[in-house]
Copies of this chain bind each other. A is one copy, B any other.
């Protein structure tokens, strides 16, 4: 598979200091508004964990930015939950292709309160609530039928029983210590602005592409 001659020049926008401002959350919010205009699911984010120096990467959905933390929900017993229990360092990537933009965020993840997890869990469609209960996330299964059967049995059961959030299902809040805003530019001379938290102050710098 040879893709060496596939190249797209990026030339839609630029990212200069005047536009960027001093607060990375403000810039993130503005870029997110832009992404909503062009991306089907702008809240898709890639998160990476490192367990025993083995990085692992997967997609989750950003559900909220609250008190300067990025919130997502998952199964705490999943591979990512286990990795975060060992090592709370986490790296986020948003990629908005139509905007030719990336945002990279590095920080640490902690569990949100049970009340907050409850609130979100019960706001989901009933099918997704039952799906969360049916799935022992990342454990092996024999075949698709095993999951479908379990799901159907639970659906039947919960017609006459109240659904309860499993204790091992809930949210993480990621507190950033570094942001990088990347704007694709022509000839691979991209704009990269980095914000680092230095004793509670965001310090901005520009990096070579």
Contact = CB atoms under 8 A, between A and B. Distances in A.
Interface of A: 1-8, 14, 16-17, 29, 32, 40-41, 43-44, 46-50, 53-59, 61-66, 87, 89-93, 95, 97, 102, 104, 106, 120, 123-125, 127-128, 130-132, 134-144, 147-148, 151, 182, 186-189, 191, 205-209
Given A3-B61, A187-B128, A140 B207 contact: yes
A131 B57 contact: no
A158 to B, nearest CB: 13
Given A54-B50, A106-B54, A59 B144 contact: no
Given A135-B208, A140-B205, A208-B139, A6 B43 contact: yes
A107 B55 CA distance: 10
B1 A65 contact: yes
A79 to B, nearest CB: 9
A50 B55 contact: yes
A141 B144 CA distance: 53
Contacts of A65: 1
B46 A97 contact: no
Given A29-B1, A106-B56, A127-B186, A139 B207 contact: yes
Nearest to A178: B56
Nearest to A6: B43
A44 to B, nearest CB: 7
A116 to B, nearest CB: 11
B62 A92 contact: no
Nearest to A139: B208
A53 B56 contact: no
8 closest A-B pairs by beta carbon, nearest first, are A50-B50, A48-B48, A127-B187, A48-B55, A1-B65, A50-B55, A55-B91, A57-B91
Nearest to A95: B59
B32 A1 contact: yes
Identify the interface centre among A7, A53, A191: most chain B CB within 10 Å of its CB.
A53
